[in-house]
Every structure is written in structure tokens, then in C-alpha cells.
Structure 1
């Protein structure tokens, strides 16, 4: 199978309707990158993203971590997405593409298999409507689940009075898991690059003269709908939204080992993909300083009502004194990074079984295609 069934012509300036679908469970920068690539295939693109229901994913793949409405809203917030089709079929349907006047269907170069081990895009390939883009190395939902399961095992040993610091596979920065048997599940090391950051920073620009600049900060670990709804609300308070990302070591100081789940480069790409974000400060100070306010010309500093209980200092003392601090009610109090981690830990066995089943199906599917 060729890497790309159809090659776009740079001369074509008519708007092309592109279809992309998937689970988008615990949406990460790899998901955002395939969306970005699809959006940039032609000079003018209308990008429609189909998102599968919880029931469809359970049938073909296994239980989801994020609920359907959480996944729909996360995809909808991605700055390259023009429309979201909810409850899209897992096996991509030609009739669905015709309904939305789709010119091409896009997927990464990892093959998606249905519950029977068949290529989910077989009909689309046969119709000549398939376009392939490279999958993003260095991240996968399976890998992220693995990171959280590692945290679960770490906590279990600590609770039993066992020091896990000498156990190599439980170290926060241990090597990438090499036990994965599927090439689509096995995750290589992520190597952040300036080029990749520039690609994700596209569609951003400096604040216009006189713009009211809003500043928020935090870990934004496991970037999720709770974060997105907060950013959306903060953006409404001004014209230009700057997000300050805290360094990994700062987060680990008050959250403990294995935090953050995603490192600062991974978190940066996820935040940059959000349509409400105008700029990001990498390694922002944990305590908002006068220098930060002056240099970035910040007019308002915003925080939510869901704050880390481990933090014993007030990082917003200065903005409060300056009269530029504003607290907004956290839109999704029940959805936090800790909540998502607990979903995984509470259902660890189910997700370990899901990952094993997924790998076995991929290996068998690849073998069938090669026969």
C-alpha cells in the first residue's frame, strides 16, 4: 500500500471538503497533528471531523476514558476544525461522505481495524478517496494510559511501605516501553523540535495595539475539556489570551513523582492547538511577578476556582494588589487532571486488557494484509 493514495495539487485553489474521523479519546498532540496535517493538504480546506460514540468504540476497540460529550467538545475546540460530526460510524461509510460532499478522507499511516480485524477504511480506499498523512511519533493514547498505570503501581507500593525509587520500570523518566508487539501501539521517544512548534503555532499573531491582554497559568497536564472551557471563559474577558505553562520540575514539587503525566513540550503542543489561545509562555513563573506583568503587558490575570490543595503560597498575590486579578467559576469542576488519572487507576485492569486486545488485533490485521 502506498503512503498516499492521492496527492494534492498545490495549484488547486477551490475549497476541498476533507473528512477525518476517530475516537479522539484523551485527545493529545498526536491527534491534533493529524488534524493539522489534514487541514493543510490543500490551500483551501473545510475540515470535518467525525467522532465515534462511546458505544461504537466499546464494540470495536474497548472502553473509553473520556465520555462522548467530552471528546466532541475537545475536537470542536481544535483551531483547525471547521465542523464536528457526532456519533460517526467506526467503519467509515461512503454514504456518510457523500452526505457531507466530502472530496477526500484522511487518516494516519497506521491502519485502523474494526471488531473483525478488517481495515476500517477498506471501502474508502477502494473508492479512491483515501489520503494518508504520517502519524505522529512519540505519543499514543495507549502510551499515556501506560504512564498513568505506572503511577498507579507506584502509589500501591508506597501505600504498602515499599520504596519504589529503585525499580527501574517505575521511574518517571524510564525508557519507552519496548514490550509492545504492535508497531501502531509501540511508542518511540518524542523529540521536540522548533519546526513542530512552529507548525502548531500557525494561526497565531502578536496582540494588536490597544488589545486587552488576559493571562492564565497552570500545568494544563492531560489537556482536557475542563481546561478548554476555562480558557474559553477567560478569553471572553479580553481580546488576547496568553497561557503560562509551568515547568515539569515545578509541577512535580507539589504533585509528586510521575507528575506531570505529559512533559512541558507535549503540554505546549496541546495548548497551542486550542482555538482560544493566542500565545504561550514556556516555563512561566509559578508566582505571577511584576516583571511578567510589565513585559507581557498583561491587563488581567485569571484563575479558576479549582486550585491545587498542595499549594501553600498564593501565586496571585501581586495581581490582587494591583487590582487586575479575576477569578472565574471553573466551568467543569468534576473534570480535572486528577479525576482523569483516577478514572484510569480505578479501572486499571480493564484498560490493561483493552491495550492487550488492541495490540493483538493490530498484529493479526497486519499479518492478514501481508498474506
Structure 2
């Protein structure tokens, strides 16, 4: 197998310049002396000096380390984003493989998002440099050769949670065997399985609520109970995680700051596209992520599916976003516009917050009166509700898929060990 790099000489020149410099000088003097006594073979000193530029160039142009990480990236969440952030930290350039629909179906069950939607989500992350579509679920010898030879990959990355094929074998066994595998720490508290479970749980709560309401009409006092609403998250937010996701830079004094707000629940391809469009209108994109209570008031008690800090990290991981207001107010006020030096407020046409039908006041009345409001045509018609409906429409298939995945996740948590780095 053609995995080895035969440029050890140049690597030695770069990593041990003094040693190779000494050898070069010795060879040059030897060539001078043998020439003086009529010897032939080793070049003269002036000839060697003319090639010194090769070594200097090698030192300046150190080859960048390229790492590869793959995944299904179905129902993209901050756990995916954090995994790719960690992978990028192990190299200079991150290449991401997005597993094909067919491979997901045969190894895990039906995907929720299409390949194009998953590609848009992965490409929209700030740590991703290149994307390979329709990657295989298993790192085969043929695909590994392609990664090493065509894509110049140095290391293959995966989390510390096991990735098993249907026959129970390790999908990354070959990469580990050739010494080109590195491991990162899994981001706990969320998974695609967990999110599907929340959606199915919300559906169950809604049915329970409807049954209770029907019963209450017949005089059952238990009909006063309310649905559970959004399900508990295991995510433990830390200030460090927010800093890791943040760009760490504010707008310049003359920057054109564009503001857009929303729930950004179940972060999807439609969110990426509208944020990309908004970013093109200015120098700095500020995104307001509404509080859980606000989302619940406008979309129902089973929303949001993802909680405030989960939604904020998903938005912050997007390459088009510069800053996030965590728990943004519903109304865009004059004070808020002044505080953040907002030049333009935008809203997508494909929004689930239809305040005109709710009888409430327009939350954008102030920027509209100031002439700094713009309605953007949404590039995609996908919404949080439409994604959730895909899961609900295939309830039995996803319930079966989740039962299998939940069992493997419980086993992981029971046997997990600490992995350094995060």
C-alpha cells in the first residue's frame, strides 16, 4: 500500500538544519580537496552554494498538515460543530467527508436531511476548508488510498465514541493499523439520536394533551394539565465553549453592522443560506437568538426543540456569523440599534414567526421607521417545522432507528473514558 512519504531527506533538512548544514559543508570541503588532488565525484563548493536556496525555501514553505473527518451530519448540531473544531485544531486544513444517503440507510437507518442539505450545513461551518460528497461509511483501503494520494491527507480523525459497522467491526480499523488515525473527545449532551427523540417525544406529549383536552370536556379534572413542552437537555454550557466558537472580534468603527434575529431552532440549510445572504449586505453580521420563552410563546409549548445555548452555539459556528446576542429581545428597539451600531436590520421571507397574524405589534417597526429595514428573499423553503414533520411522517422508521442508536449510546456512556483535549 502506497502510504509512506519518501521525502525524508527534505524533512530532515527542515527539521535538523544545523546537522544537514554541517554535512553539506563537509561534503563541499571534501569535494574541494579531492578536486585539488585530482579526485572526481563530489561537487565543488561554489556549485553547492548556488543550491542553498532550495533549503531556505523548504524551511519557509513548510507543508501544511491536512486532516480528514467524516460523518453523516444529519440534523446538524453544536456537537458536530465542536467535533470539526477539534479536528481542525489537529492540523492546518480540514477536509470533511459527508456520508452518502445510501450508506446511511444501510448502516444506521433513513437520514432526515438530503445530501444537498447536509453539504450546505457542513460547508457553512467556519472550520471546514473542503468537503467530499458521498463519502463511504467505512474507511476502506481503496478510499484511504484516495485520501492519502489525491487529497494529501495526513491523519484521519474520529471521536472517542465507537463507530461500528453492521458486522460489529470498527469502521476506522484500517486507519488505526497504518498509524494515521487521531482521536478527539466527543461533545456530550447532544446527538442526532437525542434530537429525534425530542421531536418524537414532543409528538407524544401533544397527543397526550389532546386526549386530556377531550377528556376534560366530559368533566375530567385532569384535563387541566399541560404538555411537558421542550424536553430536558443534557448540555452543560460553559463560557470556555462559547469563547472557542466565537471569532473574538468586534466590528470596526466604520463597519456596516447587519442584524438578523430568529429562533434558529434545529439549525438547517435554510438558516445557513439566509445568514449568507445577510452577511453580503455589510461588514459584520450580528445575529439575535430569541429566548426559549419567546420561541415557546410564538410557536407553541413543544418549542423550541433545541434550547437557547444549543441554538446560540449552532449559529455561532456558522462561518457567515460574526457575533450572537444570546437571548435577544423580541422587539428591535432604538436603544438596541444604538448600542450595537446597527446599520441594517433584515428578515427572511420564509419565517415561522408570522406576527402579522398573531395580532401583535410589529417587532421591526422602529428600524422600518428609520429606513434601515430590508426583507430578504429566503433562498430555501426548508423550516424547522418541515424538518420535524419529516421525522413525524416516518415515525415508525425513526423510532426503530432511535431504539438501536440509544442502546449504543447508553453503552458508550457506561464505558466511556476521559479523552484529553476538547
TM range (shorter): 0.7 to 0.9
| Contact 1:24–1:75 (8 Å) recurs in 2 | yes
Q: 1:21 aligns with which of 70, 75, 78?
A: 70
**Aligned residue pairs, count:** 339
Q: 1: distance between equivalents of 2:408 and 2:309?
A: 31
Q: 2: distance between equivalents of 1:238 and 1:35?
A: 27
Q: 1:172 aligns with which of 225, 229, 244?
A: 229
| Contact 1:113–1:365 (8 Å) recurs in 2 | no
Q: 2:273 aligns with which of 229, 248, 261?
A: 229
Larger RCO: 1 or 2 (CA < 8 Å, sep 6+): 1
Report whether the alignment pairs 1:265 with 2:314: no
Give 1:240-319 correspondences, 5 Å limit: 240-307=284-351, 308-309=353-354, 311=358, 312-319=360-367
Equivalent residue number for residue 418 of structure 2 = none
Change (3 A) 1:213 1:174: closer
| Contact 1:222–1:337 (8 Å) recurs in 2 | yes
Please, what TM-score do these two structures have when normalized by structure 1?
0.86
User: Residue 49 of structure 1 aligns to a residue in which SS?
Assistant: strand
| Contact 2:230–2:303 (8 Å) recurs in 1 | no
Q: 1: distance between equivalents of 2:129 and 2:403?
A: 35
Q: 1:96 aligns with which of 123, 133, 146?
A: 146
Moved over 6 A (4+): 361-367
Equivalent residue number for residue 171 of structure 2 = 120
Which structure is larger by alpha-carbon Rg, 1 or 2? 2
User: Residue 160 of structure 1 aligns to a residue in which SS?
Assistant: helix
Larger deviation, residues 11-20 vs 90-99: 11-20
Q: 2: distance between equivalents of 1:314 and 1:362?
A: 45
Give 1:69-218 correspondences, 5 Å limit: 69-93=116-140, 94-98=144-148, 99-162=150-213, 171-172=228-229, 189-201=234-246, 203-218=247-262
Q: 2: distance between equivalents of 1:50 and 1:73?
A: 13
Equivalent residue number for residue 181 of structure 1 = none
Q: 1: distance between equivalents of 2:349 and 2:76?
A: 24
Equivalent residue number for residue 346 of structure 1 = 393
Report whether the alignment pairs 1:34 with 2:83: yes
Deviation at 1:328, TM superposition (A): 0.8
State the Cα deviation string for residues 103-156 of structure 1 (Å, max 9, x = none). 001100001112222111011111111100110011111111111001111222
Deviation at 1:47, TM superposition (A): 0.4
Q: 2: distance between equivalents of 1:300 and 1:111?
A: 47
Equivalent residue number for residue 180 of structure 1 = none
| Contact 1:117–1:362 (8 Å) recurs in 2 | no
User: Residue 70 of structure 1 aligns to a residue in which SS?
Assistant: helix
Task: Specify which structure has the higher proportion of helix.
Answer: 2
| Contact 1:211–1:238 (8 Å) recurs in 2 | yes
Over the residues paired in the alignment, what is the CA RMSD in angstroms? 2.3
Which consecutive unaligned segments of at least 5 residues does structure 1 have?
1-10, 177-188
